[in-house]
C-alpha cells in the first residue's frame, strides 16, 4: 500500500482519477501483480476464505438487522418472524448463524497453518499479533451475536460469561454491574450487545486491512518456510493465487451450503429455541462448539479467578509465540521434533473441545486438567526448548528447488 | 513416536472420561422414519392434516401455536389445505381484536392473517390451571427439544443429515406413559413418562386409542396420533423445510459443477506457471 504507484490506466477518465487518487494502482499492485511464493498449498487459501466469510456475515447481518428487534420482550419473536415471514429470512438467518461457525472453522485452520509453517517468525511478528487481535475480536463478536436471539442458551451464556469478570478482586462486582447495565442480564445488556455486535465487525474489517497490509509489507510465508530469493520463486497473484483461492472458496462453500440447507441446526443447541427465562437454568450450559476448548480450560481450574486467568492466558500466550519459539527454522517440514508436537497440540485442542461439551465433573474434569496443563506446557516449555534440542533437516536452497524436489516428507503436501 | 504419544494421550483422556458420572435425563427416544428427513424429504400432506386434527382436538386445549398463522395452513410445503379450507378453519376460532371506536375489545371470527389464539389470556392463567406448570407453546417445540446420541452417532448424523431429534422426542413422549415404579412420588395431576427428564410430568396421558376420529382410514392408535402430530409440529417449527431442501439441492448442484470447472481452469492456469520454472 504505497502512495505512489507507477500504474497509468489506458482509459482517459480513469487516468485522470488515478493521478488524483491512485486507488486502481493500489488494487493492481496488491491483488494482481503482487508476487506470491509459487509453492503455496491449499492451507494458504484460508486467508481469502476468511475475507469472503466476513463479507457474507456483514451482508447477511445488515439485512437481518432490518427485521430484528433488540428488546428482551420482542427479540425472540422477531427472530421467529424472520424465520417465517420475511422473504428468504430463514436463508439469511441460517447463513448468518452457520456463517459464524464457518468463520471459526476457517480461522482455526488459518491459525494452525501459521503454527505448522512458522508463519509468526521474523519478520511476521506484527502480522501474527494482528491475527491474534482479530481472533479476540471475532470471539467477542460471535459471543454477543449468540446472545441476540434471546433464547435460553443466549441468556445463560451471557450470564455465565459476563459473570467471569466478578472473579476479579475488588473491582469484579462493579465491573459486572457496569457490563450488564443493571443487576442481572436484562434489557440494557441485550441492547448494548446488539450495538456492539453491529460495531465490532467493522473493527474486524479495519484490523483485517492492517493484517493484509502487514502481509503485503513482509510477503507471504510458504510451506518451505524460506525467503523468496528471485522471481523464479514467485508467481503473480492474478491469475495464479486468485484462481486457486477461488477454487478453494467454492469447495468451502459446498460445506457451508451443506450445513445451511441440510443441517441448519446441527451446530446449534436446541435450548436456544426456548425463549430466555431468568428463573430457569438449563440442565447444561454449553457455549457454541468454537468456544468449547476455552470453556474446558476455564472449568479445569478449581478457582474461579484462576479459571478466568487460564482461559484468557490460553489466547494471550499466542501473542508471545514468535518469541517463545526459539528455532530459526520456520516450517515444521524441516523440524522433525516440532512436527510431532504440533500434531499432539492439535489433538489436545480437539480433546479440550470434546471435554468442554461434557459436564464438569469426575473424570472429565481430570482429563481437562491434564490437557490444559499440556496446552500451556507446549507453548511455555516445549516450544522454547525445541529450538535448542532439535536438529533441523537441511533446508532447500530456494523455493523453486523445493517445488521441483519431492514432497514425500510433507504431511500437508502442496497440490499446486 | 508421534502415533504412540497420541495414542497414550487419547487413552488417558478416554480412561478418565469413561469414569465420569453422566446424568440420565430420560430414556433415549427411538429414531423414527420421517418422510421429511434426508436431502429430498417432503412432508406427507395427509399426515400433516391428520396431525393438525390431533393438535386441534387434543393439544390445543392447553398448548398454544402462536407463531403459526391460519394462512400458513394453505401455503406451499405445508398441510396443503386450500385457501377456502384455511378460511373456514380460521373462522372456527374467536379472536380478540380491538379496541374499537368506543375503546372496547371485541371478539370476531378468525381470518387468514390471524395466528392461532393462545389457550389462555396469559401464562399465569394457564399455570393456574395446571398447578403451576406451564404447557409450552408448540410452534417450535421440535426444534427446542433434542436428545444426546453420543459422539459417534452424533458425528454420523452429519453425513446422514439427521435433524429430526425433536420430532422423535415428541413422538416418544406421547407414547412413553407408563405406570410409575413402586415408591415414586406422583401427584394425582401428574403422570410418569419414560422419556421426560425426571420422569414426573405435569401433562397426564393426552392420547388414547380412538380418541381422534380420522376420516382417511389411518389407524386410530396412540402411536399413529403421536407420529402425525409430531410431523405436524415439525412443519410448524420449520415451515420452509421443503423450500430449503429444494433450493439446497440446486445450490449444491451448482457449486459442485462450478468447483469442477474451477478445478480444471486452475490446472490450466497453473500449467503455464510450471513451464516458467
pLDDT in tens, A373-397: 999 999 999 999 999 999 999 999 9
Answer yes or no: do A263 and B258 touch at CB < 8 A: no
Q: What is the CA radius of gyration of chain B?
A: 25
C-beta separation of B228 from B54 below 8 A: yes
DSSP 3-state assignment of A192?
helix
Helix (H) or strand (E) holding A341: helix A336-356
Distance CA A112, CA A123 (A): 18
Q: Which domain holds residue A131?
A: 31-404
Cα–Cα nearest to A7, from A237, A215, A21, A212: A21
DSSP state of A268: S
Measured in angstroms, the CA of A266 and the nearest CA of chain B are apart by 7
Mean pLDDT, residues A273-296 taken together: 95
Q: Residue B11 above 50 pLDDT? A: no
Nearest Cα residue in chain A from B136: A274
Q: Residue B136 above 60 pLDDT? A: yes
Chain-centroid distance of CA A242 in Å reads 21
Query: Domain count of chain A?
Result: 1
Chain-centroid distance of CA A46 in Å reads 10
Distance CA B69, CA A81 (A): 11
> Which range has the worst mean pLDDT, A15-19, A354-358, B21-25, B198-202?
B21-25
Q: Residue A416 above 90 pLDDT? A: no
Q: What local confidence, expressed as pLDDT, does residue A401 receive?
A: 87
> Which range has the worst mean pLDDT, A17-31, B2-16, B51-65?
B2-16
Exposed/middle/buried for residue B13 (C-beta within 10 Å: 0-12, 13-18, 19+)? buried
Helix (H) or strand (E) holding B193: strand B191-193
In chain B, residues with a C-beta closer than 8 Å to the C-beta of A365 are 20
Residues 206-265 of B with CB under 8 A from A: 237, 239-240, 244-245, 247-249, 251-252, 255-256, 258-259, 262-263, 265
Q: What local confidence, expressed as pLDDT, does residue A195 receive?
A: 98
Give the CA angle between residues B65, B71, B72 to the nearest 5°.
60
Helix (H) or strand (E) holding B8: helix B2-18
The C-alpha torsion from B246 through B249 and B252 to B253, rounded to 10°, is -120
Nearest Cα residue in chain A from B256: A254
Distances from the Cα of A164 to the Cα of A160, A174, A271, A305, angstroms: 7, 12, 22, 8
Nearest to A243 among B252, B256, B266 (CB): B266
**% of chain A with per-residue pLDDT over 70:** 96
Distance CA A213, CA A1 (A): 7
Answer yes or no: do A90 and B166 touch at CB < 8 A: no
Reading the block at residue A166, the C-alpha cell is: 466478578
Reading the block at residue A382, the C-alpha cell is: 516445549
Question: What would the DSSP string read from start to end of A37-69?
Answer: ETT--GGGGHHHHHHHHHHHHHHHHHHHHTT--
Reading the block at residue B56, the C-alpha cell is: 386441534
Answer yes or no: do A263 and B146 touch at CB < 8 A: no
Measured in angstroms, the CA of B217 and the nearest CA of chain A are apart by 32
Residues 85-124 of B with CB under 8 A from A: none
Mean pLDDT, chain A, whole residue set: 94
* CATH number of the CATH domain containing B116: 1.10.760.10
* A412 domain residue, yes or no: no
Reading the block at residue A200, the C-alpha cell is: 465490532
C-beta separation of A185 from A158 below 8 A: yes
Cα–Cα nearest to A337, from A411, A392, A413: A392
- Per-residue confidence band for A415, with pLDDT thresholds at 50, 70 and 90: very low
Reading the block at residue A339, the C-alpha cell is: 512436527
Q: What local confidence, expressed as pLDDT, does residue A4 receive?
A: 52
Reading the block at residue A93, the C-alpha cell is: 438467518
ipTM surpassing 0.85, yes or no?
A: yes
Distance CA A47, CA A131 (A): 11
- Asked if the C-beta of B161 comes within 8 angstroms of chain A's C-beta atoms, the answer is yes
Distance CA A407, CA A403 (A): 8
Answer yes or no: do A347 and B239 touch at CB < 8 A: no
**Is there a cis peptide before residue A123, judged by omega within 30 degrees of 0?**
yes
Helix (H) or strand (E) holding B156: helix B151-160
Answer yes or no: do A347 and B25 touch at CB < 8 A: no
Answer yes or no: do B10 and A347 touch at CB < 8 A: yes
Answer yes or no: do B20 and A91 touch at CB < 8 A: no
> Which range has the worst mean pLDDT, A135-149, A251-265, B176-190, B219-233?
B176-190
* B275 domain residue, yes or no: no
Cα–Cα nearest to B233, from B142, B169, B162: B142
Answer yes or no: do A261 and B248 touch at CB < 8 A: yes
Q: What local confidence, expressed as pLDDT, does residue B66 receive?
A: 97
How many residues would you count in chain A? 416
**Is there a cis peptide before residue A383, judged by omega within 30 degrees of 0?**
no
Distance CA A236, CA A223 (A): 17
* A187 domain residue, yes or no: yes
Mean pLDDT, residues A123-130 taken together: 98
Nearest Cα residue in chain A from B155: A266
* A10 domain residue, yes or no: no
Mean pLDDT, residues A130-143 taken together: 98
Mean pLDDT, chain B, whole residue set: 90
pLDDT tens-digit profile of A35-65?
999 999 999 999 999 999 999 999 999 999 9
DSSP state of A393: P
* B55 domain residue, yes or no: yes
Answer yes or no: do A343 and B2 touch at CB < 8 A: yes
Crossing angle between the packed helical segments B45-57 and B222-237, to the nearest 10 degrees: 100
Distance CA B212, CA B222 (A): 9
Answer yes or no: do B273 and A400 touch at CB < 8 A: no
DSSP state of A396: P
In chain A the first and final C-alpha atoms are separated, in Å, by 28
Chain A with chain B: Cβ pairs closer than 8 A: 148
Give the CA angle between residues A120, A126, A129 to the nearest 5°.
75
C-beta separation of B154 from B132 below 8 A: no
Q: What local confidence, expressed as pLDDT, does residue A403 receive?
A: 83
- Per-residue confidence band for B1, with pLDDT thresholds at 50, 70 and 90: very low
Pairing of strands B106-109, B200-201: unpaired
Answer yes or no: do A354 and B266 touch at CB < 8 A: no
pLDDT tens-digit profile of A188-212?
999 999 999 999 999 999 999 999 9
Answer yes or no: do B259 and A232 touch at CB < 8 A: no
Using a CB cutoff of 8 Å and minimum separation of 24, what contacts does A176-184 make?
A: A184/A159, A184/A278
In chain A, residues with a C-beta closer than 8 Å to the C-beta of B13 are 351, 354-355, 367, 370-371
* B160 domain residue, yes or no: yes
- Asked if the C-beta of B71 comes within 8 angstroms of chain A's C-beta atoms, the answer is no
* B11 domain residue, yes or no: no
Nearest Cα residue in chain B from A37: B273
- Asked if the C-beta of B138 comes within 8 angstroms of chain A's C-beta atoms, the answer is no
Chain-centroid distance of CA A163 in Å reads 24
B244, B267, B271, B274: which to substitute to probe chain A, counting the most A Cβ within 10 Å? B244
Chain-centroid distance of CA A337 in Å reads 26
Query: Domain count of chain B?
Result: 1
* A105 domain residue, yes or no: yes
Q: Output phi, psi for A281, to 5 deg.
A: -85, 135
Answer yes or no: do A283 and B1 touch at CB < 8 A: no
* A17 domain residue, yes or no: no
* A87 domain residue, yes or no: yes
Crossing angle between the packed helical segments A89-117 and A46-65, to the nearest 10 degrees: 150
* B270 domain residue, yes or no: no
> Which range has the worst mean pLDDT, A375-379, B33-37, B122-126, B169-173?
B122-126
A275 DSSP β-pair partners: A151
Measured in angstroms, the CA of B54 and the nearest CA of chain A are apart by 23
* CATH number of the CATH domain containing A153: 1.20.810.10
Reading the block at residue B69, the C-alpha cell is: 398463522
Reading the block at residue A26, the C-alpha cell is: 493500489
* A36 domain residue, yes or no: yes
Answer yes or no: do A243 and B265 touch at CB < 8 A: yes
* B33 domain residue, yes or no: yes
Nearest to A266 among B19, B151, B158 (CB): B158
| Of A408 and A43, more confident | A43
**Is there a cis peptide before residue A277, judged by omega within 30 degrees of 0?**
no
Q: Which domain holds residue B173?
A: 25-94+106-245
Answer yes or no: do A273 and B259 touch at CB < 8 A: no
DSSP 3-state assignment of B106?
strand
Nearest to A240 among B25, B72, B273 (CB): B273
A234 DSSP β-pair partners: A37
* B253 domain residue, yes or no: no
Nearest Cα residue in chain B from A272: B144
* B261 domain residue, yes or no: no
Reading the block at residue A363, the C-alpha cell is: 473424570
Q: Residue A148 above 80 pLDDT? A: yes
Cα–Cα nearest to A83, from A73, A75, A93: A93
Q: What local confidence, expressed as pLDDT, does residue A6 receive?
A: 75
Nearest to A364 among B20, B237, B258 (CB): B20
Answer yes or no: do A263 and B139 touch at CB < 8 A: no
A84, A152, A344, A354: which to substitute to probe chain B, counting the most B Cβ within 10 Å? A84
Answer yes or no: do B269 and A271 touch at CB < 8 A: no
Reading the block at residue A5, the C-alpha cell is: 504507484
Amino acid at each position: 500500500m504505497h502512495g505512489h504507484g507507477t500504474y497509468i490506466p489506458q482509459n482517459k477518465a480513469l487516468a485522470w482519477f488515478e493521478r488524483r487518487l491512485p486507488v486502481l494502482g493500489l488494487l493492481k499492485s496488491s491483488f494482481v501483480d503482487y508476487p506470491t511464493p509459487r509453492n503455496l498449498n491449499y492451507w494458504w487459501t484460508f486467508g481469502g476464505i476468511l475475507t469472503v466469510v466476513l463479507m457474507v456475515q456483514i451482508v447477511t447481518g445488515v439485512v437481518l438487522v432490518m427485521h430484528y428487534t433488540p428488546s428482551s420482550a420482542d427479540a425472540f419473536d422477531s427472530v421467529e418472524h424472520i424465520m417465517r415471514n420475511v422473504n428468504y429470512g430463514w436463508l439469511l438467518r441460517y447463513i448468518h448463524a452457520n456463517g459464524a461457525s464457518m468463520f471459526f472453522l476457517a480461522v482455526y485452520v488459518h491459525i494452525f497453518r501459521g503454527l505448522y509453517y512458522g508463519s509468526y517468525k521474523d519478520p511476521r511478528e506484527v502480522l501474527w499479533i494482528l491475527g491474534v487481535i482479530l481472533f479476540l475480536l471475532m470471539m467477542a463478536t460471535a459471543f454477543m451475536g449468540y446472545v441476540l436471539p434471546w433464547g435460553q442458551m443466549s441468556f445463560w451464556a451471557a450470564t455465565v460469561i459476563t459473570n467471569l469478570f466478578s472473579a476479579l478482586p475488588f473491582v469484579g462486582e462493579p465491573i459486572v454491574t457496569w457490563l450488564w447495565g443493571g443487576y442481572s442480564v436484562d434489557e440494557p445488556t441485550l441492547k448494548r450487545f446488539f450495538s456492539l455486535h453491529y460495531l465490532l465487525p467493522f473493527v474486524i474489517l479495519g484490523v483485517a486491512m492492517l493484517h493484509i497490509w502487514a502481509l503485503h509489507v513482509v510477503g507471504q510465508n510458504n510451506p518451505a518456510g524460506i525467503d523468496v530469493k528471485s522471481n523464479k520463486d514467485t508467481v503473480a497473484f492474478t491469475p495464479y493465487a486468485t484462481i486457486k483461492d477461488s477454487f478453494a472458496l467454492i469447495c468451502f462453500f459446498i460445506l457451508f451450503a451443506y450445513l445451511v440447507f441440510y443441517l441448519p441446526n446441527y451446530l446449534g443447541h436446541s435450548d436456544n429455541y426456548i425463549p430466555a427465562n431468568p428463573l430457569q437454568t438449563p440442565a447444561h450450559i454449553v457455549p457454541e462448539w468454537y468456544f468449547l476448548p476455552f470453556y474446558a480450560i476455564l472449568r479445569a481450574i478449581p478457582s474461579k479467578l484462576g479459571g478466568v486467568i487460564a482461559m484468557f492466558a490460553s489466547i494471550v500466550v499466542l501473542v508471545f509465540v514468535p518469541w517463545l519459539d526459539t528455532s530459526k527454522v520456520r516450517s515444521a517440514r524441516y523440524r522433525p521434533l516440532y512436527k510431532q508436537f504440533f500434531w499432539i497440540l492439535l489433538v489436545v485442542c480437539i480433546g479440550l473441545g470434546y471435554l468442554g461439551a461434557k459436564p464438569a465433573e469426575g473424570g472429565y474434569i481430570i482429563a481437562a486438567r491434564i490437557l490444559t496443563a499440556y496446552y500451556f506446557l507446549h507453548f511455555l516449555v516445549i516450544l522454547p526448548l525445541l529450538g535448542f534440542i532439535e536438529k533441523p533437516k537441511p533446508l532447500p536452497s530456494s523455493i523453486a528447488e523445493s517445488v521441483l524436489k519431492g514432497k514425500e516428507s510433507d504431511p500437508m503436501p502442496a497440490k499446486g | 513416536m508421534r502415533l504412540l504419544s497420541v495414542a497414550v494421550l487419547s487413552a488417558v483422556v478416554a480412561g478418565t472420561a469413561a469414569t465420569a458420572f453422566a446424568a440420565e435425563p430420560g430414556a433415549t427416544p427411538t429414531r423414527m422414519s420421517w418422510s421429511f428427513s434426508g436431502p429430498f424429504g417432503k412432508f406427507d400432506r395427509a399426515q400433516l392434516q391428520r396431525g393438525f386434527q390431533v393438535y386441534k382436538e387434543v393439544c390445543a386445549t392447553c398448548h398454544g401455536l402462536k407463531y403459526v398463522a391460519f394462512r400458513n395452513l394453505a401455503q406451499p410445503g405445508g398441510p396443503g389445505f386450500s385457501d377456502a379450507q384455511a378460511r373456514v378453519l380460521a373462522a372456527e376460532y374467536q379472536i380478540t381484536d380491538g379496541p374499537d371506536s368506543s375503546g372496547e375489545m371485541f371478539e370476531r371470527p378468525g381470518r387468514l392473517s390471524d395466528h392461532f389464539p393462545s389457550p389462555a389470556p396469559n401464562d399465569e392463567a394457564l399455570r393456574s390451571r395446571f398447578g403451576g406448570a406451564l404447557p409450552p407453546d408448540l410452534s417450535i417445540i421440535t426444534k427446542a427439544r433434542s436428545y444426546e446420541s453420543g459422539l459417534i452417532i452424533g458425528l454420523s448424523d452429519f453425513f446422514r443429515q439427521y435433524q429430526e431429534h425433536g420430532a422423535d422426542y415428541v413422538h416418544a413422549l406421547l407414547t412413553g406413559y407408563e405406570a410409575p415404579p413402586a415408591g415414586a412420588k406422583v401427584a394425582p395431576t401428574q403422570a410418569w413418562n419414560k422419556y421426560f427428564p425426571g420422569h414426573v410430568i405435569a401433562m397426564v396421558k393426552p392420547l388414547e386409542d380412538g380418541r381422534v376420529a380420522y376420516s382417511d382410514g389411518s389407524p386410530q392408535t396412540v402411536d399413529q396420533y403421536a407420529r402425525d402430530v409430531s410431523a405436524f409440529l415439525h412443519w410448524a417449527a420449520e415451515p420452509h423445510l421443503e423450500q430449503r431442501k429444494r433450493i439446497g439441492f440446486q445450490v449444491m448442484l451448482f457449486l459442485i459443477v462450478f468447483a469442477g470447472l474451477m478445478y480444471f481452469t486452475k490446472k490450466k492456469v497453473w500449467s503455464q506457471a510450471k513451464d516458467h520454472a
